[in-house]
Structure formats: C-alpha cells, structure tokens
Structure 1
Amino acid sequence: MSPAWSDEAIWWHVYPLGFTGAPPTSAGAAGHRLRRLEPWLGHAADLGCTGVMLGPIFASETHGYDTVDHFAIDPRLGDDADFDALVARAREHGLRIALDGVFNHVGRSFTGDAGWLRRQPGAADYDTFEGHERLVALDHAQEAVQDYVASVLGHWLDRGADGWRLDAAYAVPAEFWRQVLPRVRARHPQAWFAGEVIHGDYAGYVARSTLDSVTQYELWKAIWSSLNDRNLYELAHALGRHDDLLATFAPLTFVGNHDVTRIASRLDDHRHLGHALAVLFTVGGVPSVYYGDELGLEGVKEEREGGDDAIRPAFPPTPADLPAAPATSTGLSAAPAHFEMPADGRDVFALYQRLIGLRRRHPWLARARTSVTHLANRTAALRTDAGGDRAVLTLLNLDDEPWRCPADITHATLAEAGDSGEGDPAVVPAHGWRILIDKPA
C-alpha cells in the first residue's frame, strides 16, 4: 500500500550535479554546491509542486550514476550539513524530498566490499551495466548486498528523505526489492519507492518487487509521438494500457527527465506543448516536471560522450537572475551547458502553474481512469473519471480547423484552455485544447 501522500505528489525533478554547475569529475572539486538549490525551492513551490526529486547526490566518480559511497554526499555538492539544510529549507516550503538510488551497479572505485560485485564463474572481470566498463554490477543474490542497500535507504530516510527513485530498477531482480523494502518500510511506513523501468511488464514488476510505482515511459513516448505524427490513435492505445496499470498502482508520469530530449525540443510544433501538458496533468499517475521544462528550455540528448550536457544545464543562482533573453553565461563555474531562457519562458511557466493548480484542486486524478469518448487522427476527447461527480474532459485538436466535440458536455464547465476560452466550450480552436470539469446532474 503506497503512502497516502504520494497520490497528491507532484515532483520537481532536478539533476543536482548539472543544476549546480559541478565539475565533470569529483577529483579535487570539493564545494558546497548543494546549497545552490535552496534559493530555487520557492520556485518549485510557486510552480505548485509538492516535492523535489533529486538526481544522484552521493559520492561518485563522474555523472553520479557511478556511485562509490552511498553514505556520503558527493564532495562536489557538499556534505551532510548541506543535505540537512536542504531538507530543512524544503520543509519550510512544504516540499518533500526524494533521492535517486543507484543500486544495480556502482563505480569502479566503490568503497564497499569487493566481494559484493558480480562476476561470472571463471571470468577475469566483473559484470558491467549494459557494457559500460566503469559501471560494475552488484551481486543482488547476496544477503550482504540486500543488507547494505536496506541500510542505505534507511539512513537517508532517517535524515529526512521521504522517498526514493531507484535507478535502473529494470536491471535488478524484482525479488531483490521484495527482500529489501519490507525491512525499510518497517521503520519508515510512509516512505515511497519508485523504480526506473523503461519497458516490459510494468504491473508485473510492481507486483513482484513491492515497489509503489515505476516510470511510465510508454505514455511518455505516446504523448510526444502522437502529437508529432498527428495520430491520436497512438495516444489512445497507450492510455488504454495506462488505465490497466492504475488498477494496481499509480505510475510515475512525465514528459521530460534527465535522460531524454526535452519536450520543447521533442515536439515538432510548439503549439502542441499545451496538449502534452493537458494529458500529463489530467490522467492518472504521479506527475513529475523536469527542471527547466517549466521555462520552455530546449535540449537534445545525443548518444555520445557528453551527450547529456544539453539536457542537464546549470541554473542561475536564484530565480530572480533568470535572464529575459537568451544568455551565454550563468555565472556558475564549470557549467556543463550554458543557460538560455526562451522568449516565452515565463508564459510556459504560467501554463505549467495553471495545469498543476488544476491537478492539485482535483487530487483524485491520481487514481482516476481515462476513457476515450471520441477519437480521430487529429481530434480526441478523453474522459478521466473517479466515479460520482468526479470527472474531467480533456479535448485535443491537432487540426488546422476548429473542431466541435460531439461528446455530451451539458453539465461541463470550462476549467483551462490553450486559448481565451471564450465561446462555446465544445468548440476547440485549431491546434487548441480545453479541459472541462464534468459534474452530471
């Protein structure tokens, strides 16, 4: 049973090493950069988010996913005192904290027991993660590894974390989490655990692992792909599968994260950003917003060394320092990519803020089911319903002409729209979208 608070969670997802402009390696790069997140907590709260989901913050060799000590803050980011200060400031803003735990593999210079690393019989070297020579796999069959991971999870929950994103969970046997998580939950029954699962049987993995949630990559892909192709049948198909998942858990939903091209760059037509967000915030699940997406930042992930830099930029010292126009420098040293504020960045922020506000006013959406009441290539009506008088209609029009939704909206009232919202609420302008609250008589 997931903690009750998680159904109302909306995460602001941050990659700290990039956000704070940390150098690419930890050698000789000590600093207290974690403190640079503190001035931005108010920004996350103003956006409407209820928590901050941090990327890796533990001692590592380079990008954070090559952890060497799970009990120590990365020296580039600071120390325990910096973490404690961040948690305290987050609490002042009413924000929870989730941490990123990499427990499928570790860095080559891992400080734990070398006997915990997995090696095939007769092999000269340890197993690695997806061929990455510097990422060495843990042996999840060992009870000592289970004990170690349980102690790490509990340690940071003791220090104030509220939950965990478990990196590369798809590569970890589900039974491993089934052994580990009950021990942690015994001391922290209100903790929330979400696993990174890219493909496969999401519901089956949750059932076997006892995780609370997994990442919904299938819906992520369908959102931007269906908008680009103007083929809403793809979205409808994905929503049908998404609806099945909601029978047992609330997936972690998103249109951007630290591993994928930003939504502003992914969409072929920027007019369809609102459509993507309307879907994200009106269907079931636990939504997250990747830092910078709420400002319309662009960034393309490339499959090369340093190919993540563009989607993990350093941010200015405070929200007040956001430039009004594209800038070439942030004032933060060793930034992996310069910060550029889009001309419509503040309008995009307001759009996110409005839709997150709608989501928070209707927290029941986290477990609500979505049916498609009208479907064509370029137009769709989605009804997300939790029973009783709790229903939302999301109308999407990707066509070059206005569209009148044939669904019965006799008792519906307009809540949000990608236009002024004037006129007949059933008529959606060209490339427009509308969200209506439906309360049957």
Structure 2
Amino acid sequence: MTDLAPSPHSIPWADHAIWWQVYPLGFVGADLSGERRPGTLHRLSRLLPWLDDLVALGANGLLLGPVFDSATHGYDTVDHLRIDPRLGGDADIDALLAACRERGIRVLFDGAFNHVGRAHPWWQEAVAAGPGSVAAGRFSTSPDAVEVDGLRVDVFEGHDALVVLDHEHPDVVALAGAVMAHWLERGIDGWRLDAAYAVPPAFWRACIDPLRARFADAWFVGEVIHGDYVAYVEESGLDSVTQYELWSAIRGAISSRNWFELAWSLKRHDEFSAAFLPLTFIGNHDVTRIASAIDDERHLGHAIAVLMFVAGTPSIYSGDERGLHAVKEERAGGDDAIRPEFPLSPTDWPGGPVFELYRQAIAFRRRHAWLAHARVTAEELSNEAVLLVATGRNGERAALALNLADEPRALGGAAIAPNAWEFRETP
C-alpha cells in the first residue's frame, strides 16, 4: 500500500494552493517580435482587475510566467533583476505583489536558468572575449555543441537564440541563487524553474539549499516532463515537479473514452504524491488548450473534476476557466494562439458555464483539503465509466463518479447520468 506519511519536502501552505497561471507578455499584448519599443510600458497593472476574478474562481495563487527583461518570448532572458520594459518596472511589480498580498494570493515567479538569450551581457562578453576566454567558460559545451556568434556552445533544443549555461560553473550557481534570493526578498513565495529537466539536479540543490534557512516557506517547483520524478525531487532538493504524466493521462483517457489509461497513471501518481506534492494541471502555456484537446465538450467537466480530486497542488491556465480554444502548432509563432491578449476587465470575457464548472470543482476541493495528499484508486472500472475513490491520511473518504457513455451507468450503488460526473462525499 502507498505510504501516506508526510513528504520530507512539505511546505504547509502549498497543500492549500490552487494556482492561476498567467503568461504575462501575452496577457498584456506585448510585441514578441524582438523589435524593442523605446521606454517602459506600464502594463502589468492590467493584471490587477483580474485578481478578484482569481479569488472568485476559488484560486489563491498566481503562477506568473516570465517577467524579466528578455529579447522576445520571455525565456531568452537578458536581465533577471530587471522587469521587462514591455511589462513595466519595479513600481509595477511591487504594486502587483502588494495587491496579491492584500487578497491572500501567493505568487510564483518563472525563472529560466538553463539558458539565457544572446543579448545577455554574459554572452556578449563571451563573444567579445572569444573562444577559451574566462567569459566563454560560463557556457556549456558538449559534443553536440554548435557554432553561435563564433563560439562553440550548446543551445536549448535546437534554438540558437538560447545559449545553455554551464551548471557546474560557480558563477552560474551564484547567479541563480542571487536572483532567487532577490525576488524572494521582494515578496514572492517561490519559483517555477523552467526546463528543469535539462539541468543537472545537483545544480538546483547547490542553489536552493543555502536559501532554505532564510526562506523556509519558499516553494520550488521544477518543469520536468519525463523520467523519474521522485528521484529528481530527491536529488535536486526541489519541493515539486510538474506532473506531465497525469496531464497526458487525463486528456488521453477522456478523448479515447478509456478510463484504464487514467487508472494506470493514478497508480504512478500515488507513488509520486507519497514522496512530494506534485504540480498538477490540465493546461498550461506550452500545450493545446484543454477545451480544444477534449473532443466532446460535454466531457470538459470530467477533466476539471479529476484535476481537483487527485493529490497535488492544482494549476489552472488562465483562460481555460473561460473555455478558450486554441491549438499549439510546431512552427515559429505556434504558441501565439494559446497565449492571447486578455481584455482590460474580466467582465469583457464573462466566465459562463465553464467558469461555473471550475468553481464547483474547486469548492469541493476546498471543503476537502485533505485531497492534496490523498491516495486515489479506480474502482468499478470500464472504458467509459469509473468510480474514483480517495482516501486521506486520517481515513477521510470521498468519491468521484465519471461517465463518458451516452447511457446511464451504475457506480458505487447509485446511477450516474449519461456524459455526467459527480462528487460524492463518501463512497
């Protein structure tokens, strides 16, 4: 049986966090072409009217995408200590953080420390100094290195605009640690660490362990897609990683009307959540919108319900709660559709039925906070119908009945309507 003992990586407030993830450059309609506009555009304030909507949804965390000075899309960082002028300046970010604190909203920043953009001062210094220089030594070289600006260097996943740092270099460790500390001091609650899967786990431990004494309540989550999640958390010292396996299983099971896929993934999820608190999601800024990924709109609520029922800390990608549709495409600009500009006020994009589905599911999660560390098993399992049963550390129990069929099914001794889902207080 899965051990339900508390995780050694537990940060108590994270058990109650429900995140609303925002990609800020898209949200404010920033120009991502690389054509830099003169001056500072104070547009972070466009997020302020949406904070009350975040709270009305039932969330209490803002997972903020890249806000640092960058060349184009935010992950080609130029200066980790400067707010991107397309978003604003120090006063703008301070006002946003203050508004979040007033509402009890936790804030995570998104940090790219695997690579930097070619406009970063370190890279410019390395290009000027040339191969073999001290400056060039801050960047990674491997047998797969390519030539960029006259230097042999590793680039991130074939993108020569993103030059990879040497994570064994003391300057790189010092930079990441100093940047994390700077923004934690300014009032954020933790970090989402971009492309953590491409970074040796020892690097994160070297950066984060010294911060624990000063920021005991800070929460660190790494973007990890494949592999041994538990081992990565243990080796890296991170508190959490992104649960892409569950994301894939939820979408796949519903689209193919095959709950066996989810049942298998939940066994793995139990193992992960016994060791740490996974960051769970059904959508984010890198993937096709959930409303577009689910073939039958009647089944969108099933995905939302599963997200709010299983262990972990759930994240909702902004716009998903309004049922936005968009498909990610593998081409230049292929992320633009899933990262749209938002209106100035939430009233210009009424929530509607999908918003209410999220509110209903989040409300159940709030009433059963123990679900963050629950063990969930699939019972009465068939392709189109399943009863998920959650068991808490102290013997709490709840159930989620899910029916994808066009006819009623009996689950847990009670009928469930066609294409319906329902939470049950006790199985």
Task: Flag structure 1 segments of 5+ consecutive residues without an equivalent.
Answer: 325-344, 409-425
Q: Alignment partner of 1:125: what SS?
A: strand
What are the equivalent positions in structure 2 for 1:91-240 lying under 5 Å apart? 91-112=101-122, 114=126, 115=135, 116-120=138-142, 124-240=151-267
- Identical columns (%): 54
Query: Does 2:382 correspond to 1:373?
Result: no
Equivalent residue letter for 1:158 = E
Deviations 1:328-384 (A, max 9, x none): xxxxxxxxxxxxxxxxx4111111011111111211111111011221111111111
Contact 1:300/1:311 (8 A) holds in 2: yes
SS in 1 for 2:160: strand
Structure 1 residue 387: deviation in Å? 4.0
- 1:86 corresponds in structure 2 to 96
Please list, as runs of the form range in 1=range in 2, the aligned pairs for 1:307-326 lying within 5 A after superposition.
Answer: 307-322=334-349
Give the whole-Å Cα distance in 2 for the aligned partners of 1:388 and 1:100. Answer: 35
- Aligned residue runs from structure 1 range 243-392, under 5 A: 243-322=270-349, 345-392=351-398
- Partners of 2:172 and 2:395 in 1: how far apart? 49
Residue of structure 2 equivalent to 1:2: 10
Q: Tell whether 2:34 aligns with 1:28.
A: no
Deviations 1:281-313 (A, max 9, x none): 001001000000000000100000111011000
Contact 2:373 2:393 in 1 (8 A): no
Q: Distance in 2 between matches of 1:111 and 1:356?
A: 44
- Counterpart of 1:19 in structure 2 is 27
One-letter amino acid of the structure 1 residue matched with residue 57 of structure 2:
L
Partner of 1:413: none
Deviation at 1:120, TM superposition (A): 4.0
- Partners of 2:10 and 2:37 lie apart in 1 by 41
**Counterpart Cα distance in 1 of 2:424 and 2:410:** 14
**Secondary structure at the residue paired with 2:286?**
coil
Structure 1 contact 45–94 (Cα < 8 Å) conserved: no
SS state at 2:227 partner: coil
Is contact 2:69–2:84 with CA below 8 Å preserved after alignment?
yes
CA deviations on 1:226-254 (whole Å, 9 max, x unpaired) are 11111110010011100111111011000
Over the aligned positions, Cα root-mean-square deviation in angstroms equals 1.4
Counterpart of 1:433 in structure 2 is 421
Q: Deviations over 1:60-87 (max 9, x none)?
A: 0000010011010001001111100000
**CA deviations over 1:262-292 (Å, ceiling 9, x no partner):** 0000001011011101100001001000000
Paired residue secondary structure (2:303): helix
- Determine helix, strand or coil for the equivalent of 1:438: coil
1:329 paired residue number: none
Instruction: Count the aligned residue pairs.
Output: 400
Distance across 1 between alignment mates of 2:90 and 2:397: 45
Amino acid in structure 2 at the alignment position of 1:40: W
